[in-house]
C-alpha cells in the first residue's frame, strides 16, 4: 500500500476545508439509522470553500470496545446528488490509505463519473489519524531517519529493531491511546457509524487500494448492512510473512514480464532491439557489486533495491518509457539521475495535501493489522532468497514487502486486528476490480480475496498495468461503466475482463 495518497490536493485546499460557513444547513436531513452499533450524528454546514458541498465532523469512540469513553472527530465532506430526482443514496468513497478523502470529494468531484455524481450524495471522510480526523503525529526527524529496507548484515538488522522501538515509544508518548486505535477494524466501525449518521439502512461504498481492505472487512463485520461494495485494487489481509514476501515478489515478476513484452515490441523503448532480460540481469549484478550510482548523490550506490524500485514506482501509471530510460542509463553509463517516476511527495508539481507525519501514521496503521515476524538476519535473507527462487527469478523481491517488514520488525505485540481469511456471509454481490499487472495490489491476491468471499464475489480484471483501474487511472471505459452499473443498479458485469488500453507515453 503506497505511502502517498492516490489523489493529491493542494495544501491551500486543506486549510480552506477546515472552516465551514455560517449558512444554515439543509433542514431536510435523513434521520440517523438506528440499526448501527453507535448512534453517531453529523452537524452539516455548507463548506466555506464551496457552499455547494457540506462539511461536518462525526464523533466516534476512540476505542470501539469502550463506546462510552473518550471520542475523536472524523472529518466528513458530502456533495449532494446533482440530480436529486434520480438519487439512489449516499456513496462513501475512500481513495487510499493516506488520502484525505474528505477533501477529494470537496475539491476533485470530477474524479468520479457524472452518473455517480448525479445519483449519489458523494461522501468522503479522513481516516482516523489522518488529515483533520485527529491526526497522529510522531517526531518528524525520527521518522525521516528510518533505516533502509534492504538489510545487508546482522548489525543493520539489530539497529533496525532498536530504531523501531524508539519510534514506537515516541509515537505512543505523543499520541497516547490513539496510536493503538488506528487499525482497520476500528476504521470499519467508523464507516458503519457514518452509514448510520447518513440515514442509510445499507452501505454503498467505493474503495480504492487500502479502501478495498476497509470494504472487505466491512462485509465480514456487517454482512446485512451492505448494498454495494465496489473494491478496486485489492488488499489481501490473510498473508503471513512467507506469503507476504513470496506473493509480493510474484506481483513484481508479473510486472517485469509485462515491461519486457512492451519493450521488445515498441520502438519507443530505449532498450528496443536489445535482450531486455539480459540487460536487467547485468544491471542487477552491477548493483550487487557496487558499480552504479546516482549523479546527484555519487556517494549513494544504486542497490538492487533501487533498481527494482524504479520498475515498481513506474508500474503505477504505467510509465514504461521512464523505466526503460532508467535501465538504459544504468546499463550504458553506470549512473542515473535518480529514481524514475517519483511519488507525489517528491514531485515538483502540485503540492500534495500536508498531512502531519504521514509515515508515522502509515506505520502505526499497518503494524496494527499485520504481524510479519522475522527472528534474525539469517531468516530475513532466507525469506527473500526463497521468494526469488520460487516466484521471481528476475526481480528477486518486492520493495514494498521489504518496506513493511522493516516498519513492523519486532512490533508484533501491537497487532490488534491480526491477519485472517475473510468469512463473509452476505446476500449482497461484491464487485472486485483489479489490474492484471498491478504493482502493489496484485491480481494474484485479488484472486485469493474472491475465493475467500465466495459466491457473492465477482472479480473483474483489467488486462493492463496500473494501480487503480477505475476512470482516468486506466482510461478503461469498460471498467468504469461496469462499476457504475454495479453501484447504481446492483448489476454485475456481463464479462469478467476488460481489454488493456494501449500505452501512450
pLDDT tens digit string along 73-122?
999 999 999 999 999 999 999 988 766 778 778 777 788 999 999 999 99
Of the ranges 35-44, 163-172, 351-360, the best mean pLDDT one: 163-172
Checking if the pLDDT of 37 tops 90, the result is: no
Compute how many other C-beta atoms are within 10 angstroms of the C-beta atom of residue 34.
Answer: 8
Q: Please check whether residues 156 and 233 belong to one and the same domain.
A: no
Checking if the pLDDT of 27 tops 80, the result is: no
Counted residue by residue, the chain has a size of 505
Q: Where among 366, 389, 419 does a domain terminate?
A: 419
Q: Please check whether residues 325 and 343 belong to one and the same domain.
A: yes
Name the average pLDDT for the chain. 90
Report d(CA 445, CA 355) in Å as an integer. 29
Q: Where among 419, 452, 471 does a domain terminate?
A: 419
Cell of 455: 459466491
CB 96 within 8 A of CB 211: yes
- Calculate mean pLDDT across residues 43-66: 93
Of the ranges 2-11, 17-26, 129-138, 456-465, the best mean pLDDT one: 456-465
Report d(CA 22, CA 27) in Å as an integer. 14
Q: What letter would DSSP give residue 102?
A: H
Residues β-bridged to residue 336: 294
Structural domains counted in the chain: 2
The CATH number covering residue 491 comes to 3.40.50.1820
Q: Where among 419, 441, 462 does a domain terminate?
A: 419
Q: pLDDT value at position 344?
A: 52
CB 235 within 8 A of CB 1: yes
- Calculate mean pLDDT across residues 322-347: 86
Q: Please check whether residues 360 and 289 belong to one and the same domain.
A: yes
Residue 10 lies in a domain: no
Residue 196 lies in a domain: yes
Query: Which of 51-60, 107-116, 251-260 bottoms out in mean pLDDT, i.e. has the lowest?
Result: 107-116
Q: Please check whether residues 100 and 145 belong to one and the same domain.
A: no
Q: Please report how the helices 154-175 and 358-369 are oriented relative to each other, as an axis angle in degrees rounded to 10.
A: 100
Beta carbons within 8 Å of 41's beta carbon, 6+ residues apart: 32, 58, 197
Q: What letter would DSSP give residue 146?
A: P
- Residue range of the domain that includes 490: 31-134+184-238+420-498
pLDDT bin (cut points 50, 70, 90) of residue 20 is: very low
Percent of the residues in the chain that have a pLDDT greater than 70, as a whole number = 89
Checking if the pLDDT of 1 tops 50, the result is: no
pTM, full prediction: 0.91
How does pLDDT run across 209-250, given as a tens digit for each residue? Answer: 999 999 999 999 999 999 999 999 999 999 999 999 999 999
Q: What is the DSSP string of 452-494?
A: HH-TTEEEEEESS--S--SGGGT--HHHHHHHHHHHHH-PPPS
Q: CA-based angle 62:64:65, to the nearest 5?
A: 120
- Calculate mean pLDDT across residues 270-289: 97
How does pLDDT run across 113-129, given as a tens digit for each residue? Answer: 999 999 999 999 999 99
How does pLDDT run across 294-327, given as a tens digit for each residue? Answer: 987 777 889 999 999 999 999 999 999 999 999 9
Q: Please check whether residues 59 and 164 belong to one and the same domain.
A: no
The dihedral through the CA atoms of 338, 344, 345, 350 has a sign that is: positive
Strands 297-301, 226-232: pairing is unpaired
Residue 198 lies in a domain: yes
The dihedral through the CA atoms of 253, 255, 258, 260 has a sign that is: negative
Q: Please check whether residues 45 and 125 belong to one and the same domain.
A: yes
More confident residue, 390 or 21: 390
Amino acid at each position: 500500500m503506497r505511502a502517498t495518497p492516490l489523489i493529491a490536493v493542494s495544501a491551500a485546499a486543506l486549510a480552506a476545508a477546515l472552516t465551514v460557513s455560517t449558512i444554515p444547513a439543509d433542514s431536510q436531513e435523513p434521520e440517523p439509522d438506528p440499526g448501527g452499533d453507535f448512534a453517531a450524528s453529523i452537524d452539516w454546514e455548507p463548506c466555506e470553500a464551496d457552499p455547494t458541498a457540506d462539511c461536518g465532523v462525526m464523533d466516534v469512540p476512540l476505542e470501539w470496545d469502550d463506546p462510552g469513553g473518550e471520542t475523536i472527530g472524523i472529518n466528513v465532506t458530502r456533495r449532494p446528488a446533482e440530480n436529486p430526482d434520480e438519487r439512489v443514496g449516499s456513496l462513501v468513497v475512500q481513495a487510499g490509505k493516506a488520502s484525505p478523502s474528505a477533501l477529494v470529494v470537496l475539491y476533485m468531484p470530477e474524479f468520479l463519473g457524472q452518473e455517480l455524481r448525479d445519483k449519489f450524495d458523494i461522501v468522503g471522510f479522513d481516516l482516523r489519524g489522518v488529515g483533520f480526523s485527529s491526526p497522529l503525529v510522531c517526531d518528524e526527524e525520527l521518522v525521516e531517519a528510518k533505516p533502509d529496507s534492504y538489510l545487508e548484515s546482522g548489525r543493520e538488522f539489530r539497529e533496525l529493531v532498536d530504531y523501531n522501538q524508539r519510534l514506537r515509544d515516541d509515537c505512543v508518548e505523543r499520541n497516547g491511546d490513539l496510536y493503538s486505535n488506528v487499525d482497520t477494524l476500528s476504521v470499519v466501525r467508523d464507516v458503519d457509524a457514518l452509514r448510520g449518521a447518513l440515514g442509510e439502512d445499507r452501505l454503498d461504498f467505493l474503495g480504492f487500494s487500502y479502501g478495498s481492505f476497509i470494504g472487505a472487512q466491512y462485509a465480514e463485520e456487517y454482512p446485512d448492512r451492505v448494498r454495494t461494495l465496489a473494491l478496486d485494487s485489492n488488499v489481501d489481509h490473510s498473508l503471513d510473512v512467507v506469503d507476504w514476501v513470496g506473493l509480493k515478489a510474484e506481483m513484481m515478476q508479473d510486472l517485469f514480464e509485462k515491461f519486457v513484452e512492451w519493450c521488445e515490441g515498441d520502438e519507443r523503448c530505449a532498450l528496443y532491439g536489445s535482450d531486455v532480460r539480459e540487460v536487467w540481469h547485468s544491471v542487477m549484478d552491477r548493483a550487487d557489486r557496487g558499480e552504479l550510482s546516482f549523479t546527484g548523490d555519487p556517494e549513494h550506490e544504486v542497490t538492487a533495491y533501487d533498481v527494482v524500485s524504479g520498475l515498481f514506482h513506474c508500474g503505477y501509471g504505467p510509465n514504461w518509457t521512464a523505466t526503460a530510460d532508467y535501465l538504459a542509463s544504468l546499463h550504458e553509463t553506470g549512473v542515473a539521475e535518480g529514481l524514475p517516476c517519483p511519488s507525489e511527495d517528491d514531485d515538483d508539481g502540485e503540492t500534495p495535501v500536508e498531512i502531519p507525519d504521514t509515515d508515522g501514521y502509515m506505520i502505526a496503521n499497518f503494524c496494527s493489522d499485520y504481524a510479519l515476524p522475522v527472528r534474525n538476519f539469517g531468516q530475513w535473507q532466507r525469506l527473500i532468497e526463497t521468494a526469488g527462487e520460487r516466484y521471481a527469478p528476475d526481480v528477486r523481491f518486492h520493495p514494498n514487502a521489504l518496506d513493511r517488514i522493516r516498519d513492523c520488525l519486532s512490533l508484533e505485540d501491537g497487532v490488534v486486528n491480526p491477519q485472517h481469511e475473510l468469512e463473509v456471509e452476505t446476500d449482497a454481490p461484491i464487485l472486485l476490480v483489479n489490474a492484471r499487472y498491478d504493482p502493489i495490489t496484485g491480481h494474484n491476491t485479488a484472486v485469493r480475496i474472491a475465493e475467500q468471499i465466495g459466491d457473492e464475489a465477482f472479480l473483474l480484471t483489467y488486462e493492463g498495468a496500473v494501480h487503480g483501474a477505475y476512470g482516468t487511472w486506466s482510461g478503461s471505459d469498460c471498467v468504469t461503466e461496469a462499476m457504475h452499473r454495479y453501484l447504481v443498479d446492483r448489476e454485475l458485469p456481463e464479462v469478467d475482463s476488460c481489454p488493456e488500453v494501449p500505452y501512450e507515453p
